[in-house]
């Protein structure tokens, strides 16, 4: 699984300020499987624009350089927020209600989702606003729809906004929708109307004189003589082409002031158009290249009013190369212009009162704008084609088109394709992909690059201990193996001032039997400022539980000496098949204060048939128990308290009852400086149910504190 972090893309986008070129980008990842594979992302949609899941390698046919190649690896990546299958979100460990100290509660991993289950991929959006093509009077509906699109995305999708006029200053990526919506609300187009260059011609009142069109200017700059003749005839001779055709073009330009001005203005419009195109291409290629360094699903949304490609299709090579290396999905949205003239082609016009043979080209401003708009749209479609993206011609309300973008970004197939023989690293390839299923649409980048051979890496053997260490080191929580833990606190022997934490671990008998033996590992890390202390040493231990007990549960316990304080306790267990259960929880390892004493937890043990007590921290006691023993340890101060002034009342009460079943008054006995008060309750008086044990400590006539514990019969 890939894990995206927004800061990674921030760094990539900011790298654009340093002039990163497409050629400097790293190659697409490869699958290390004995042969060199190239990664190809293929998007497959049904007739409603939804991603089609469940395809295997046999459903695809991929051609590299025109030759079908074997597909070795197929991965279906779904955006986490758009999962088609309901996957429960990971939950915190269950914490049963408890009326005692925090260190004495039972903690389970009930509700923890097995991390090995599919939980989806990270997805990042970058919205590239091509304000170099959008005039200030246009784009408002598109920008407003983009704000609604952003507000409706799943909260885990990072988003960034970039402008073609200054791609070095992105907003985001961020999960903060307000930041992105604010950026989108402040956008204004800054496109210059290059067709506004006015030619002062010699046309009569009937002639449709006006500016040189952008498409017309590019054709003239490309050396299309007829385009220049038409422009001169229109501007200088009222559309009459006979004068232009009768002279050598260069002579006409040199001798006729109007013709010279048309030529000059056409060159100016062409130069400005090409510079804008260069900036657009550079911004698009740079953002695509930067996004290639992010993980998961990467989707670029381009909002544009077009790009003037014309005959210069080679100008899109940087975009094609960046897309081939990056593996980025692209959606392009262009708001439809008002094509009110109906026919985008130029038509002849005959001026009244003149010889009908005199052709006057109706190439005035409306027709030229239609021609320009068509060229700009076709250029944007060409960009979409080279990146294997989807082009949306937005008609009416843009919202449905943005919804299609969200749907299109929900999933992608990532294929590992075996390379044709004879190719070298860095060589470009053509790519074509088809799916053997009717009624689907397939989108794939049309180019890819041969990756460098990956160094031979011996397979890493992951042992059970490796998995346990990883889970404990990271404080992970796993739910594949049911796990219960509980702790008891008492003073550690030896006068060291440490606390002994008795940790009991149980894998209970469950509906799905757990196959032993089990390996158990724990780790204890000091807490600082409410979180595990960075760099602090971890106290850890490991045991193997060979077999389950008579009840079908696997049980283990650890005695852990620690200095008083607050810790992060981590416990992990692995069964014989490598499935994991793990818990991470806070542990208060400070002994409770009971008046002048420090005390232990109320220690509970079940008594076996031989009269031997067996300490438990977990609530259930076995059916074979003949009794329940409760013991409280008191650690007296150096002086000032007499043992015969201290009494401990120990009672047992069934849950829901107001009165105790039994209560005993116990005088502590001194054992090597530890005052112990203990008593035993027979199982004969205990029916099935939950019970509370309470030890109330009095000094003289004053109650100074109490300790609680529970057990289940």
Residue 638 has pLDDT above 80, yes or no: no
* The pLDDT of residue 206: 36
Bond before 65 cis per omega within 30 degrees: no
Considering all CA atoms of the chain, what is the largest pairwise distance in Å, rounded to the nearest integer? Answer: 134
Question: CA 614, 617, 623: angle at the middle one, nearest 5?
Answer: 55
Residue 98 has pLDDT above 90, yes or no: no
Residue 500 has pLDDT above 90, yes or no: yes
Residue 2 has pLDDT above 70, yes or no: no
Question: CA 320, 325, 329: angle at the middle one, nearest 5?
Answer: 75
* The pLDDT of residue 49: 81
Report the chain's mean pLDDT, rounded to a whole number: 82
* The pLDDT of residue 96: 46
Rounded-to-integer distance, Cα 116 and Cα 43, Å = 25
Q: With CA atoms as reference, report the closest residue to 588 among 472, 498, 504, 489.
A: 489
Query: Pick the residue with more confidence: 119 or 690?
Result: 690
In the structure, what pLDDT confidence band is assigned to residue 241 with cuts at 50, 70 and 90?
A: confident
* The pLDDT of residue 334: 94
CA atoms within 13 A on the CB side of 614: 19
Rounded-to-integer distance, Cα 586 and Cα 426, Å = 52
* The pLDDT of residue 99: 43
CA atoms within 13 A on the CB side of 61: 7
Query: Pick the residue with more confidence: 610 or 20?
Result: 610
Residue 345 has pLDDT above 70, yes or no: no
Residues sharing a CB contact under 8 Å with residue 680, sequence separation 6 or more, in sequence order = 607, 627, 628, 629, 630
Rounded-to-integer distance, Cα 235 and Cα 524, Å = 86
pLDDT per residue over 594-629, tens digit each?
Answer: 999 999 999 999 999 898 998 888 878 888 899 999
656-662 own/partner pairs: CB under 8 Å, 24+ apart: 661/685, 661/686, 661/691
> What residue ranges define each of the domains in the chain, with the CATH number in brackets?
92-118+460-590 (2.60.40.10), 194-274 (no CATH), 592-713 (2.70.50.30)
Residues sharing a CB contact under 8 Å with residue 144, sequence separation 6 or more, in sequence order = none
| Backbone φ, ψ for residue 621 (5° rounding) | -110, 150
- Of 92-106, 386-400, 483-497, the poorest mean pLDDT is in 92-106
* The pLDDT of residue 338: 60
Q: Do 450 and 419 meet the contact criterion of CB atoms below 8 Å apart?
A: yes
* The pLDDT of residue 125: 93
- State percent of the chain over pLDDT 70: 83
Rounded-to-integer distance, Cα 506 and Cα 107, Å = 11
Residue 548 has pLDDT above 70, yes or no: yes
Rounded to an integer, the average pLDDT of 299-317 is 93
Q: Do 547 and 516 meet the contact criterion of CB atoms below 8 Å apart?
A: yes
274 SS3 class: helix
Residue 137 has pLDDT above 90, yes or no: no
Residue 228 has pLDDT above 70, yes or no: yes
* The pLDDT of residue 17: 37
Residue 401 has pLDDT above 80, yes or no: yes
- Of 33-37, 98-102, 132-136, 288-292, the poorest mean pLDDT is in 98-102
First to last CA, the chain: 44
679 SS3 class: strand
DSSP state letter for 191: -
* The pLDDT of residue 371: 87
Q: Do 501 and 540 meet the contact criterion of CB atoms below 8 Å apart?
A: no
Residues sharing a CB contact under 8 Å with residue 463, sequence separation 6 or more, in sequence order = none
* The pLDDT of residue 243: 81
Work out the number of other CB atoms within 10 angstroms of the CB of residue 147.
18
Q: At what angle do helices 140-152 and 177-185 cross, to 10 degrees?
A: 180
Residue 489 tokens read as 């606190």
Q: Do 514 and 554 meet the contact criterion of CB atoms below 8 Å apart?
A: yes
In the structure, what pLDDT confidence band is assigned to residue 104 with cuts at 50, 70 and 90?
A: low
Note the residue count of the chain.
Answer: 713
In the structure, what pLDDT confidence band is assigned to residue 336 with cuts at 50, 70 and 90?
A: confident
Work out the number of other CB atoms within 10 angstroms of the CB of residue 602.
25
Query: Pick the residue with more confidence: 295 or 584?
Result: 584
The answer, as to whether pTM is greater than 0.75, is no
Residue 32 tokens read as 């290390």
- Of 282-286, 376-380, 444-448, the poorest mean pLDDT is in 444-448
Q: With CA atoms as reference, report the closest residue to 297 among 320, 328, 325.
A: 328
* The pLDDT of residue 351: 37
């Amino acid at each position: 699984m890939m894990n995206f972090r927004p800061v990674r893309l921030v760094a990539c986008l900011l790298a654009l300020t340093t002039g990163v070129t497409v050629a400097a980008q790293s190659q697409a990842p490869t699958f290390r499987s004995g042969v060199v594979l190239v990664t190809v992302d293929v998007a497959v949609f049904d007739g409603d624009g939804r991603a089609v899941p469940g395809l295997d390698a046999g459903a695809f046919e991929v051609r590299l350089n025109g030759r079908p190649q074997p597909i070795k690896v197929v991965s279906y990546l779904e955006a986490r927020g758009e999962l088609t299958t309901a996957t429960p979100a990971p939950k915190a460990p269950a914490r049963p209600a408890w009326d005692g100290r925090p260190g004495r509660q039972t903690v389970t991993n009930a509700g923890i989702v097995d991390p090995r289950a599919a939980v989806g991929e990270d997805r990042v959006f970058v919205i590239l606003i091509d304000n170099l093509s959008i005039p200030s009077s246009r784009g408002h509906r598109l920008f407003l729809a983009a704000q609604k699109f952003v507000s409706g995305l799943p909260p885990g999708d990072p988003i960034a906004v970039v402008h073609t006029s200054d791609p070095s200053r992105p907003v985001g990526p961020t999960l903060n929708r307000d930041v992105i919506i604010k950026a989108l609300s402040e956008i204004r187009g800054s496109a210059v109307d290059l067709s506004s260059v006015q030619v002062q011609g010699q046309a009569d009142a009937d002639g449709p004189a006006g500016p040189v069109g952008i498409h017309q200017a590019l054709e003239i700059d490309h050396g299309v003589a007829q385009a220049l003749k038409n422009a001169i005839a229109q501007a200088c001779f009222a559309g009459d082409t006979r004068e232009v055709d009768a002279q050598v073009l260069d002579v006409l330009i040199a001798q006729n002031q109007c013709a010279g001005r048309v030529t000059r203005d056409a060159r100016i419009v062409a130069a400005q158009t090409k510079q804008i195109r260069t900036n657009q291409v550079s911004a698009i290629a740079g953002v695509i290249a930067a996004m290639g360094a992010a993980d998961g699903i990467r989707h670029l949304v381009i909002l544009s009013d077009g790009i003037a490609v014309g005959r210069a299709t080679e100008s899109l090579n940087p975009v094609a190369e960046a897309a081939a290396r990056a593996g980025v999905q692209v959606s392009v949205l262009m708001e439809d212009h008002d094509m009110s003239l109906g026919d985008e082609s130029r038509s002849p016009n005959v001026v009244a009162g003149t010889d009908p043979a005199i052709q006057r080209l109706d190439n005035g401003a409306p027709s030229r704008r239609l021609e320009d708009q068509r060229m700009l749209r076709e250029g944007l479609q060409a960009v979409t084609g080279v990146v294997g993206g989807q082009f949306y011609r937005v008609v009416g309300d843009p919202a449905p088109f943005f919804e299609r973008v969200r749907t299109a970004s929900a999933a992608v197939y990532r294929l590992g394709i075996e390379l044709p023989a004879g190719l070298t690293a860095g060589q470009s390839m053509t790519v074509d992909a088809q799916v053997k299923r009717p009624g689907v649409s397939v989108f794939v980048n049309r180019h890819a690059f041969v990756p460098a051979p990956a160094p031979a890496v011996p397979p890493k053997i992951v042992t059970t201990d490796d998995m346990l260490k990883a889970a404990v080191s990271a404080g992970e929580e796993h739910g594949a193996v049911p796990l219960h833990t509980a702790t008891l606190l008492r003073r550690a022997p030896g006068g060291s001032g440490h606390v002994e934490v008795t940790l009991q671990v149980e894998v209970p008998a469950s509906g799905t039997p757990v196959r032993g033996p089990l390996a158990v590992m724990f780790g204890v890390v000091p807490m600082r400022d409410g979180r595990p202390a960075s760099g602090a040493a971890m106290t850890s231990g490991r045991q193997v539980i060979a077999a389950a007990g008579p009840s079908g549960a696997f049980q283990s316990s650890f005695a852990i000496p620690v200095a008083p304080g607050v810790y992060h306790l981590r416990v992990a267990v692995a069964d014989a098949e490598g499935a994991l259960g793990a818990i991470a929880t806070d542990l208060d390892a400070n002994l409770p204060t009971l008046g002048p004493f420090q005390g232990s937890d109320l220690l509970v043990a079940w008594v076996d048939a031989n009269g031997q007590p067996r300490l438990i921290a977990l609530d259930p006691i076995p059916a074979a128990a003949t009794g329940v023993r409760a013991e409280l340890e008191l650690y007296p101060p150096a002086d000032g308290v007499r043992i015969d002034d201290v009494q401990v009342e120990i009672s047992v009460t069934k849950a829901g009852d107001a009165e105790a079943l039994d209560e005993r008054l116990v005088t502590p006995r001194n054992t090597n400086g530890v005052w112990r008060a203990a008593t035993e309750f027979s199982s004969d008086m205990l029916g099935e149910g939950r019970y509370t044990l309470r030890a109330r400590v009095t000094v003289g006539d004053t109650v100074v504190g109490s300790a609680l514990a529970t057990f289940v019969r």
